[in-house]
Amino acid sequence: KQEVTQIPAALSVPEGENLVLNCSFTDSAIYNLQWFRQDPGKGLTSLLLIQSSQREQTSGRLNASLDKSSGRSTLYIAASQPGDSATYLCAVASGSARQLTFGSGTQLTVLP
Amino acid sequence: GAVVSQHPSRVICKSGTSVKIECRSLDFQATTMFWYRQFPKKSLMLMATSNEGSKATYEQGVEKDKFLINHASLTLSTLTVTSAHPEDSSFYICSAADRGLAYEQYFGPGTRLTVT
């Protein structure tokens, strides 16, 4: 059974700092890995999707990497801003129906 | 493109009543739809996977008679919470996927259910 772990559970940084969020998964037989953002009481916003054949994806200040063999992914956020404050979720797609298994999230607070 | 809607966004009901939540893919046909549940400050837990025209596949521990899922068309899936109890209060999120979109899941905005 796929298990996804995110470290740290919470992170507080001053504005402008670069930061890295970590995600690990137990079964390397995945189709893709996604990073999402969730604001309190809201739904999910997809940030980046990395296919299993890819090593990284970039969008603006965000860069996500994938090392499938070691079961790890990182989300790098450059020059953090208070508006980046949210919970970041990592999810991997595996299984016959490509079900998503989510990590427990990292709650990020960027202090002005 | 690839927009998924959910209705209602928020619902309050009394114990013992049933509540239906709709999930629609607005601009694509979804062969597969997923239903998730999220407890406060917790991550999303997959409840069931449904394919158009067939019975849903429920995850272990999810009561299929309590959480009725219908995927009658390629753009609509419904989740009915039957005989709701306060412990069913939660945030329910659906997603939709299709082979033509490389099976990427697109998420609805969620439904906040409160059972009093």
A33 part of contact set with chain B, CB < 8 Å: no
Cα-based distances in Å from B110 to A32, A42, B15, B22, B107: 23, 7, 21, 10, 8
Q: Which of A1, A4, A98, A86 is nearest to A51 (CA)?
A: A98
pLDDT digit string (tens) for B91-114?
999 999 887 776 788 999 999 999
Gap from A22 CA to chain B (nearest CA, Å): 16
pLDDT for residue B54 is more than 90: no
* Local confidence band at B89 (pLDDT 50, 70, 90 cut-offs): very high
Closest Cα partner for A46 from B49, B93, B7? B93
Average pLDDT over residues B45-74: 91
Q: Supply angle C-alpha B3, A6, B46, rounded to 5.
A: 45
| Confidence at residue B35, expressed as pLDDT on a 0 to 100 scale | 96
Model pLDDT, residue B41: 79
Phi-psi sector, B16: left (phi>0), alpha (psi -120 to 50), beta: left
A44 and B57 within 8 Å at the Cβ level: the answer is no
- Is the CB of residue A40 less than 8 Å away from at least one CB of chain B? no
The answer to whether the Cβ–Cβ distance between A102 and B108 falls below 8 Å is no
Q: How far apart are CA B57 and CA B49, in angstroms?
A: 5
Q: Is the pLDDT reported for residue B1 higher than 70?
A: no
User: Both tokens of residue A102?
Assistant: 């989510």
Structure tokens, B104: 């990427």
Q: Do A32 and B104 touch (CB under 8 A)?
A: yes
Residue written as token pair 């970041």? A88
- Average pLDDT of chain B? 92
Tell me whether residues B110 and A43 touch, CB distance under 8 A. yes
Closest residue in A to B31 (Cα) is A97
What local confidence, expressed as pLDDT, does residue A31 receive? 92
Cis peptide before B40 (omega within 30 of 0): no
What is the tens place of the pLDDT at every residue in A47-104? 999 999 999 999 999 999 999 999 999 999 999 999 999 999 999 998 887 889 999 9
Q: Phi-psi category of A13—alpha, beta or left, where left has phi over 0 and alpha has psi -120 to 50?
A: beta
